[in-house]
Amino acid sequence: MAIRNIRELGDDILRKNCREVREMTPRLRELIGDMYDTMYEAQGVGLAAPQVGILKRIVVIDVDGTPYTMINPRILESRDTQTGSEGCLSVPGKAGIVTRPAYVKAEAWNEDMERYEVEAEGLLARAICHELDHLDGVMYVDLVEGDIYDVEAAEEDEE
């Protein structure tokens, strides 16, 4: 496993549509492992394959110690809204206010290509929406309310 280079806002690959995964392969398993390594190294809570330059519909999320590998994910239901600050590993040191659903139910396939569903609220719901957007070339900066601001000082305070 390895840390991969995270593409940053301005890189065209972040704006492309990702392709569905048809079957699991050793190469994709390695990619998924690398995505977790890269996400944890960067202290993120989610990472989408295009952020490491791969146009496949794969995201990894871990907001509270429970990792979710989501292959070909799709939101089945959403309701209510939450408004809060959001950042992205492809926009380092920045954050902005984004409104997302307060609840989502999503389907996805795991590393063994077994279908599962996840119901999420709060940060997990936000992370699922944010990461799934990446698969369609959408970045949170497109949805932000007001200005994007610098969070590096705040992050240091939290540590």
Catalytic residue IDs: 131
Asked if 47 touches Zn ion (CB under 5 A), the answer is: no
Residues near Zn ion (CB under 5 A), total: 1
Quote the CA–CA distance of 48 and 68 in Å, as a whole number.
12
Closest by CA to 66, choosing from 134, 25, 20, 127, is 127
Asked if 129 touches Zn ion (CB under 5 A), the answer is: no
Binding segment (CB under 5 A) for Zn ion, from list 26-34, 84-92, 95-103, 110-118: 84-92
Quote the CA–CA distance of 6 and 2 in Å, as a whole number.
12
Asked if 88 touches Zn ion (CB under 5 A), the answer is: yes
68: helix, coil or strand?
Answer: strand
Per-residue binder mask for Zn ion (CB under 5 A), 136-155, x = binder: --------------------
Please state the length of the chain: 159
Asked if 58 touches Zn ion (CB under 5 A), the answer is: no
**What count of other Cβ atoms lies within 10 Å of the Cβ of residue 86?**
22
**What count of other Cβ atoms lies within 10 Å of the Cβ of residue 159?**
5
Binding segment (CB under 5 A) for Zn ion, from list 1-9, 33-41, 87-95, 106-114: 87-95
Task: Give the residues lining the site for Zn ion (CB under 5 A).
Answer: 88
